[in-house]
Amino acid sequence: MFNRRSMLMCAAVSALLVAAPALAQDLSKLARVKVDLVAPPFIHPHEQATKAAPRIVEFKMNIEEKEITIDGDGTKIHAMTFNGSVPGPMMVVHENDYVELTLVNPDTNSMAHNIDFHAATGALGGGELTLINPGEQVVLRFKATRPGVFVYHCAPGGPMIPWHVVSGMSGAIMVLPRDGLKDETGKPLHYDKAYYVGENDFYVPKDENGKFKHYDSGGESYPETVEVMRKLIPTHVVFNGAVGALTGKNALQASVGERVLVVHSQANRDSRPHLIGGHGDYVWETGKFANPPQKDLETWFIRGGSAGAALYTFREPGIYAYVTHNLIEAVELGGTAHFKVDGKWNDDLMKQIRPPEPIGAGDKLGSIAPHTGHAR
């Protein structure tokens, strides 16, 4: 049977690889900066373009296994998290910076974990060098050679890989060009605000009455969870870890005229972000900044296992729904965030000329008659 012990068996002995020879140049002269990560949807303070020479950027993440509530029904899962949040925090560096991550697996956890950076080169994205048991920590350095937004996720081997990922263990890193973002002609692009929307798909087993099941531990949930996972139909598709995590009091804020960058990641499954009532002015659909952004998109496609970025200037106040435009997933499974945008309404872009009223009511008042025929 599945128990804590057999899960720990997945912990590979990675000491050999750590001792491998390194060809790295002397990095001791490089400047070091330390970054304090913040929980999504927010992103730690950073420069959009930098004059500084490439440097070593230090991050620290604690892996936290904990129960989280993923919907308004109080459905709980035993989540696995980078730094306590689902998704994990957004990291930002510049091209050719060195990312130096201290990954900590406290002994209060029960499983081995690691981290695979899609932005990194070699050793399974760092996964091969970072597998740590409860009570261990590891320090990984990699050079961020490719500008773009990239997924990172846990990949502790075999069947543990998809399970850890759909238990919440993914996040994103943004590697900005040193001179910042550019449009298709090479002109600089700036943002006033940036949000990170990490999307997760969850697979929660149901009991015979159709109610979501609760388990005493992650290990106990595993066998039945895998059964649901293998059918490939998620029970929840959520932004920022839970249904409604980015709506209501937690809606994303912006103002008319503000340029907002939204980074969207999905470590496991395809998604199609769409801003209802708005657009993507500039979209790096595949998330890689060496490619020119596409313009004026209505919906963009995030391939499972990738991140993308969209830049948009809000032009009207009000509520915008940011959804995955499979509307079944958006409305029934949870894939909806809201932007609350303040500012002054612009009648030129849109105006309700007459409110809803009985058919033909406008005629008397001289407006154009609606099409008759098959009204209602």
Partner 1 sequence: MIAALLHSKTAFLKIGFAFAVPLAVAGTPLPSQRASEVREIANETVRVPPTVFSYRAAGEFNRERVAVSAPLLQLRRDAPVVIMKSQVTEAAFEECVRDGACRALARPSLGRPDVPVSGVSWEDATAYARWLSSRTGEIWRLPTDEEWVFAAGSRVKDEAVETDSDDFSQRWLAKYDRESARDRTADRRTRRIGSFGANEHGLLDIAGNVWEWTDSCFVRQSLDAADRAVGEPTTNCGVRVVEGAHRTYATSFLRDARAGGCSVGAPPDNLGFRLVRDEGSWLGRFIVSLKRLKPIG
> For Cu ion, which residue of 86, 140, 154, 204 counts as binding (CB under 5 A)?
154
Give the 3-state secondary structure of residue 362.
helix
Query: Is 72 an interacting residue with respect to partner 1 (CB under 8 A)?
Result: yes
Residues 109, 64: Cα–Cα separation, whole Å: 7
Q: Which distant-in-sequence residues (6+ apart) come within 8 Å of 333 by Cβ?
A: 234, 235, 236, 237, 238, 243
- Of the residues 78, 94, 143, 164, which one makes contact with Cu ion according to CB under 5 A: 164
Q: How far is the CB of 37 from Cu ion (least distance, A)?
A: 17
Q: Which of 113, 118, 153, 338 binds Cu ion (CB under 5 A)?
A: 113
What are the C-alpha distances in Å from 326 to residues 6, 246, 264, 298?
38, 18, 15, 13
Active site residue 164: yes
Selected binder of partner 1 within 109, 114, 170, 336 (CB under 8 A): 336
Binds partner 1 (CB under 8 A): choice among 14, 220, 321, 325: 321
Ordered DSSP codes for 141-173 = EEE--S-EEEEEE---STTHHHHHHHTT-EEEE
Q: Which range, of 86-94, 122-130, 150-158, 315-323, touches partner 1 by CB under 8 A?
A: 315-323
123 vs 276 by CB, closer to partner 1: 276
CB atoms within 10 A of CB 42: 15
Judged by CB under 5 A, the residue of 129, 138, 161, 169 near Cu ion is 169
Active site residue 299: yes
Report if residue 279 touches partner 1, rule: CB under 8 A: no
**How many angstroms separate the CA atoms of 165 and 279, rounded?**
30
Catalytic residue among 116, 281, 285, 329: 116
Minimum CB distance to partner 1 smaller for 270 or for 332 = 332
Compute the distance between CA of residue 354 and CA of residue 27 in angstroms, rounded to an integer.
67
Q: Which is nearer to Cu ion, 80 or 245 (CB)?
A: 80
CB of 114 to Cu ion, least distance (A): 7
Nearest residue to 40 (alpha-carbon basis) of 151, 172, 237, 166: 172
274 tagged catalytic: yes
- Give the active site residue among 90, 154, 160, 174: 154
Q: For residue 174, indicate whether it is catalytic.
A: no
Give the amino acid at 75.
T
**C-alpha distances in angstroms, 336 versus 173, 244, 251, 266?**
22, 7, 10, 14
**DSSP tag of 123:** G
Q: How many CB atoms are located within 10 Å of the residue 94 CB?
A: 23
By CB under 8 A, is residue 251 in contact with partner 1?
Answer: yes
Q: Is 238 in the site for partner 1 (CB under 8 A)?
A: no
How far is 362 from 372, CA to CA, in rounded Å? 13
Site string for partner 1, 341-370 (x = CB under 8 A): -xxxx------x-xxxxx--x---------
Please choose which of Cu ion, partner 1, none residue 157 contacts, taking the beta carbon within 5 to 8 angstroms, the exact cut-off set by kind.
none
Nearest Cα to 97, choosing from 56, 60, 148, 58? Answer: 56
Interface with partner 1, residue 247, by CB under 8 A: yes
Please list the active-site residues.
Answer: 113, 116, 118, 153-154, 164, 169, 274, 298-299, 325
Residues that bind Cu ion (CB under 5 A): 80, 113, 154, 164, 169
Residues that bind partner 1 (CB under 8 A): 69, 72-74, 209-211, 243-244, 247-249, 251, 276, 316-319, 321, 323, 330-332, 336, 338, 340, 342-345, 352, 354-358, 361
